[in-house]
Amino acid sequence: MNISRKTSLFVLIFFCTLSFNSICLKCQVNGSINPAILNSKWQAEWISYPDISLKDYGIFHFRKSFDLKNLPESFVIHVSGDNRYRLYVNGAEVCAGPARSDPNHWKFDTIDIAPYLIEGKNTLAAVVWNFAEYAPLAQMSNKTAFIVQGNTAKEMQINTNSSWLIFKNEAYVRPKKKPLRTVVGQGEVLHMALYPNGWEHPGYNDSHWLKPKLLGQGIPYGKFGDWEWMLVPNTIPFMEHKLQRLSSIRKAENITARPQFLKGQSPVYIPANQQVKILVDQAFLTTAYPELVVSGGKGATITLGYAEALEDGNGTKGNRNDITGKTVNSDYLDSFILDGGSDIHLKTLWFRTFRYMELSIKTKGEALVLNDLYAYFTAYPFQENASFKSSDQRLQKIWDTGWRTARLCAGETYFDCPYYEQLQYIGDTRIQSLISLYVSGDDRLMRNAISQFQQSMLPNGLTQSRYPAYQAQIIPPFSLYWIAMVHDYWMHRNDVNFVKQQFNGIRNVLSWYEVQVDQNGMLGPSDWWNFIDWSFQPWDNQHPLGGSPKGIQKGNSAILTLQYVYALRLAAELFDQNGFDDQAKIYIRQSELLLEKTKQLCWNIQKRLLADSPEQNSYSQHANIMAMLTGMFHATEEKQVMIKILHHKELTECTLYYKFYLFRAMDRAGFGDDYLLQLKPWQRMIDLGLTTFAETPEPTRSDCHAWSASPNYDFLALVCGIKPGSQGFKTVKITPHLGALNFVEGKVPHPNGDIIVSFKKRGKDGLYANISLPGQLTGTLTWKGKTVQLHAGKQIHVLQPDTDIN
């Protein structure tokens, strides 16, 4: 059936309202940017509202109408805004951005809007908001502004200039105070009587709108000596945006709400002058844009509150499925004051994180109808391209929960946690990146993170601990883990040019540490916040001691010194393999001296353990883990120390974060088969009803924390044993550790295709291995000390204690 573009416009708008992302991703242009856009001043200007402070709180709408005589096959535009924008074409939402960054690397999006255009009059519209001092901590900003630039001459009629119109939306009310426990931004207060309904559609009357203030042409990165925003192309895809129905109504006060309401089939009628509450349980944690459809209820107030878990009067969460005696203690609230309109869609500008959503409603003189309530899931569009199966069904639940955790902790940047902070921390991001590579195979967000951490570098040579963020924070150990991130990327991707771009940053970090070495040969007292793990001492009012072991601020820390050694050795390998062998030799020599002095001062001969400091009055798993990872011990000693790490009750124990490094040490020492015995903390979280993995064992602040998703990496890299055998994953090294499992199956996306393995035990020590390697990939399989060569394609190996049958 042929339908003209004009006739199909309403259908297109309706469809895009339901799922604009499926079209949006197809329209996103990753190549074919006109070189002039990247090398010359844009012909478009940044535009904003006239005669106000552009640093203050405000929500603004922009419109531009233009005519097309013929429908183009493509119509590519570049768009950006500060703080954020949402773009519409003929009433259909087509994209949102820009991806978070800093003004020196301000992202612009490139999109082909041809599928949304019609013959005749078209309207391009955008909402831009600046939350000013209420903006999320991760949201950097210069001032309120918007820009659109056509890619070539045929698109330049839409360039932002004085032909555009702008409107200041007074329906949004500046909040009275910031949330106490979060830094993800404010809740929103919206008076619908002041809202310009239909502003994004072609037929809207914009005669009362103003001409914009012109702020200057767009400036591409590195081409001019002064700028307000230095524009760079967005290198990651638009976020996923998918309709997500809500699961159940757990409680309703002063009203009857049927389950079918959440399916859009049974409206809820609320009489005039009534106060009601409805508690909705999504059954799992999500990151989504909630949307409520209402009619009537003039003057009524609807407030939405969100929680990862309900809490009792003492702030205790307990089992996440239990609601008895518990309430929503929301860190942000969204309020809508209604104007009595029909089929009004109430939605927020930014997404919310929740398992539980509470509707608190107070009507006035007119009854209110709740027609529907749903949400649009949003996250980085990672695909689950890996798989893991085993003879223990409990591991599947851990896999699924870990993958949900990883997904909710990835947006335009990686997030440490989606509810409280939404900040990209190096300590979390290293672990998240490996999960991304192994489960999805998508390396774009990892590259973006590595680049942003280098861009965060301060004059002293250290990266910031989290970035982007408008408030600087320095955790020196995280700068060392940034070096480990670069090494991880180098091992998994054949992208030497990108890796070399990080070398100056690596030199800067290691140079800062070099001057911190004390006369005794260990790192001396260190400034800033030297967080290692939440196992250690709490905060005080004078010093940033939270998570910092003894010896950090006064004396010498074995853990921090050995983490420096760890980074030096990874850097040495990077430099040696990429033409900087003299620098590599310097790093190796430095690491050897540090390692020798640390063992000399901190090794306790009687305990056969490494102490946290030369005073030898505290001992931790952490110090001995880092000693293991830096090669302090010979093979026999490694095994002895690892037994103590796993079983010595007096050692300070790792929390969920640092267990990632525990598992690396276990693998090195030959204890990979004991890994599955370490999963009790993850099983306990599932038993408590968590649907994502928490920041720490109970009691925990965050119910969803990226670093705790590490089993999704370990199941593939440690249990299935799939790891790069050489730089760039040019070969593979497979060393499975089945522990008590009878069989394991796994699939890992590789740049050449999928690595697929299936292992079954044969008797006490035998192994049946069915392996498929993609493309021309080759490698080795090792089991119980026996190694066989692997060729590209499918193969079967049967390994026995004394003989190999291939």
Q: How confident is the model at residue 174 (pLDDT cuts 50, 70, 90)?
A: confident
Residues 520 and 155: their CA atoms lie apart, in Å, by 66
- Of 510 and 182, the structure prediction assigns the larger pLDDT to 510
Q: How confident is the model at residue 545 (pLDDT cuts 50, 70, 90)?
A: confident
- What fold characterizes domain 9-179+195-238? Jelly Rolls (2.60.120)
Question: What's the mean pLDDT in 5-18?
Answer: 36
Nearest CA to 498 out of 510, 511, 488, 508 is that of 488
CA angle, corner 752, sides to 751 and 756, nearest 5?
Answer: 100
Give tens-digit pLDDT for 465-476: 999 999 999 999
* Cβ-count burial 656-690 (b if 16+ within 10 Å, e if not): bbbbbbbbbbbbbbebbbbbbebbebbeebeebbb
Does residue 8 contact residue 180 with C-beta atoms inside 8 Å? no
Identify the three-state secondary structure at position 609.
strand
Question: What's the mean pLDDT in 781-789?
Answer: 95
Phi-psi region of 618 (alpha: psi -120 to 50; beta: other; left: phi over 0): beta
Domain residues of the chain, as ranges? 9-179+195-238, 241-379, 743-805
3-state DSSP: the chain helix, strand, coil percent, rounded to 5? 30, 30, 45
Question: How far, in whole angstroms, is CA 185 from its chain's centroid?
Answer: 16
Tell me how far CA of residue 79 lies from CA of 150, 223, 417, 532, 749, in angstroms: 9, 19, 28, 41, 33
Question: How far, in whole angstroms, is CA 355 from its chain's centroid?
Answer: 18
What rounded mean pLDDT belongs to the chain?
94
Give tens-digit pLDDT for 228-285: 999 999 999 999 999 999 999 999 999 999 999 999 999 999 999 999 999 999 999 9
Query: Tokens representing 687?
Result: 């038993």
Q: Residue 801: what pLDDT?
A: 65
Residue 80: strand pairing partners: 147
Give tens-digit pLDDT for 433-459: 999 999 999 999 999 999 999 999 999
Residues 368 and 269: their CA atoms lie apart, in Å, by 6
Give tens-digit pLDDT for 555-583: 999 999 999 999 999 999 999 999 999 99
Q: Residue 30: what pLDDT?
A: 65
Q: How confident is the model at residue 1 (pLDDT cuts 50, 70, 90)?
A: very low
On the 0-12 / 13-18 / 19+ scale of CB atoms within 10 A, 635 is: exposed
Give tens-digit pLDDT for 642-699: 999 999 989 999 999 999 999 999 999 999 999 999 999 999 999 999 999 999 999 9
Position 133 pLDDT exceeds 80: yes
Q: What is the pTM of this model?
A: 0.95
Q: Residue 568: what pLDDT?
A: 98
Residues 399 and 458: their CA atoms lie apart, in Å, by 38
Position 542 pLDDT exceeds 80: no
Question: How far, in whole angstroms, is CA 166 from its chain's centroid?
Answer: 33
Question: How far, in whole angstroms, is CA 389 from its chain's centroid?
Answer: 26
Q: How confident is the model at residue 368 (pLDDT cuts 50, 70, 90)?
A: very high
Q: How confident is the model at residue 802 (pLDDT cuts 50, 70, 90)?
A: low
Tell me how far CA of residue 260 lies from CA of 248, 257, 263, in angstroms: 9, 8, 5
Q: How confident is the model at residue 493 (pLDDT cuts 50, 70, 90)?
A: very high
Does residue 320 contact residue 408 with C-beta atoms inside 8 Å? no
CA angle, corner 465, sides to 630 and 533, nearest 5?
Answer: 55
Residues 349 and 139: their CA atoms lie apart, in Å, by 14
Q: Residue 175: what pLDDT?
A: 78
Position 516 pLDDT exceeds 70: yes
| Cβ-Cβ contacts under 8 Å for 500 (sequence gap 6 or more) | 578
Residues 281 and 283: their CA atoms lie apart, in Å, by 5
Tell me how far CA of residue 286 lies from CA of 2, 121, 245, 483, in angstroms: 40, 39, 11, 32
Phi-psi region of 753 (alpha: psi -120 to 50; beta: other; left: phi over 0): left
Position 52 pLDDT exceeds 70: yes
Residues 214 and 145: their CA atoms lie apart, in Å, by 9
Q: Residue 23: what pLDDT?
A: 52
- Of 362 and 22, the structure prediction assigns the larger pLDDT to 362
Q: Residue 332: what pLDDT?
A: 86
According to DSSP, the β-strands at 230-233 and 219-220 are parallel
Does residue 672 contact residue 737 with C-beta atoms inside 8 Å? yes
Question: What's the mean pLDDT in 50-72?
Answer: 97
CA angle, corner 446, sides to 87 and 79, nearest 5?
Answer: 20
Position 20 pLDDT exceeds 90: no
- Of 723 and 14, the structure prediction assigns the larger pLDDT to 723
Question: What's the mean pLDDT in 327-350?
Answer: 95
Identify the three-state secondary structure at position 626.
helix
Residue 269: strand pairing partners: 369
Position 6 pLDDT exceeds 60: no
Q: Residue 181: what pLDDT?
A: 82
> Measured between alpha carbons, how far apart are the two ends of the chain, in Å?
59
Position 157 pLDDT exceeds 80: yes
Q: Residue 543: what pLDDT?
A: 73
Tell me how far CA of residue 414 lies from CA of 230, 305, 666, in angstroms: 22, 24, 27
Query: Tokens representing 96?
Result: 């949102």
Q: Residue 526: what pLDDT?
A: 87
9-179+195-238 and 241-379 share one CATH topology? yes
Does residue 548 contact residue 532 with C-beta atoms inside 8 Å? yes
CATH of 241-379, one of 2.115.10.20, 2.60.40.10, 2.60.120.260, 2.60.40.420: 2.60.120.260
Q: Residue 804: what pLDDT?
A: 47
Query: Residues of the chain with pLDDT > 70: what percent?
Result: 96
Residues 47 and 213: their CA atoms lie apart, in Å, by 5
Residues 18 and 333: their CA atoms lie apart, in Å, by 25
